[in-house]
């Protein structure tokens, strides 16, 4: 059983999603948004860091997953996004969590089944996969999708490792 914290970083709104994954069973725990508003950038980064450290202390996740940076058209936006990611990653690392990164395409593929899915499709599938009574806010849905992607990747790795182990143990060595 693993509690997974997924984070969708942003310099004004950072989404978070927390799930529990045990085998193929996935359970929703919590999600939401860390809103920084129009504060100076240094203050926003501090809020991201402190909020994630607080969430980690409260929920004790064993896994941390975050979306990889993408190339935005605006270099200033890309820089701010990178700084927000950095604050989130440092929050996880200082709390002793390994950091797992996934591209937006990987997340959408894992949750929706196609890498080019739009935000509303991601929200719909997150709601369906986690049996939520309503659609989560877009940034929280993206964070939950990142956590779901990580859970699916872990399951895939375990399946491959298990089948490789069975294949090895079934071999007969001849001399």
Written as tens digits, the pLDDT of the chain (175 aa) is 799 999 999 999 999 999 999 988 999 999 999 999 899 999 999 999 999 999 999 999 999 999 997 766 788 888 999 999 999 999 999 999 999 999 999 999 999 999 899 999 999 999 999 999 999 999 999 999 999 999 999 775 555 555 445 444 444 444 4
Pairing, β 99-102 against β 13-22: unpaired
Q: Could you give the angle at the alpha carbon of 144 between the alpha carbons of 12 and 35, nearest 5°?
A: 20
**DSSP bridge partners of 2:** 21
User: Residue ranges per domain, the chain?
Assistant: 2-167
Binding region for Mg(2+): 8, 67, 139
Q: pTM score, two decimals?
A: 0.88
How many C-beta neighbours within 10 Å does residue 23 have?
9
Write out the catalytic residue numbers: 8, 67, 139
- Binding residues, by number, are 8, 67, 139
Residues in a beta bridge with 67: 102
> Whose CA is closest to 147, among 32, 53, 36?
32
CATH code matching the domain that covers 2-167, chosen among 1.10.10.10, 3.30.420.10, 3.40.190.10, 3.40.640.10? 3.30.420.10
């Amino acid at each position: 059983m693993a509690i997974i914290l997924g984070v969708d970083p942003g310099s004004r709104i950072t989404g978070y999603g927390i799930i529990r994954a045990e085998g193929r069973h996935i359970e929703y725990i919590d999600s939401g948004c860390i809103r920084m508003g129009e504060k100076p950038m240094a203050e926003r980064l501090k809020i991201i860091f402190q909020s994630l450290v607080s969430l980690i202390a409260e929920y004790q996740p064993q896994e941390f997953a975050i979306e990889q940076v993408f190339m935005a058209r605006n270099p200033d936006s890309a820089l701010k996004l990178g700084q927000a990611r950095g604050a989130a990653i440092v929050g996880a690392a200082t709390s002793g969590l390994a950091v797992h990164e996934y591209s937006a395409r990987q997340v959408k593929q894992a949750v929706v089944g196609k890498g080019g899915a739009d935000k509303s499709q991601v929200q719909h599938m997150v709601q369906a996969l986690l049996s939520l009574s309503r659609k989560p806010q877009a940034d929280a849905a993206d964070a939950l999708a990142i956590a779901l992607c990580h859970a699916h990747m872990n399951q895939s790795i375990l399946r491959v490792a298990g089948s490789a182990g069975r294949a090895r143990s079934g071999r007969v060595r001849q001399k």
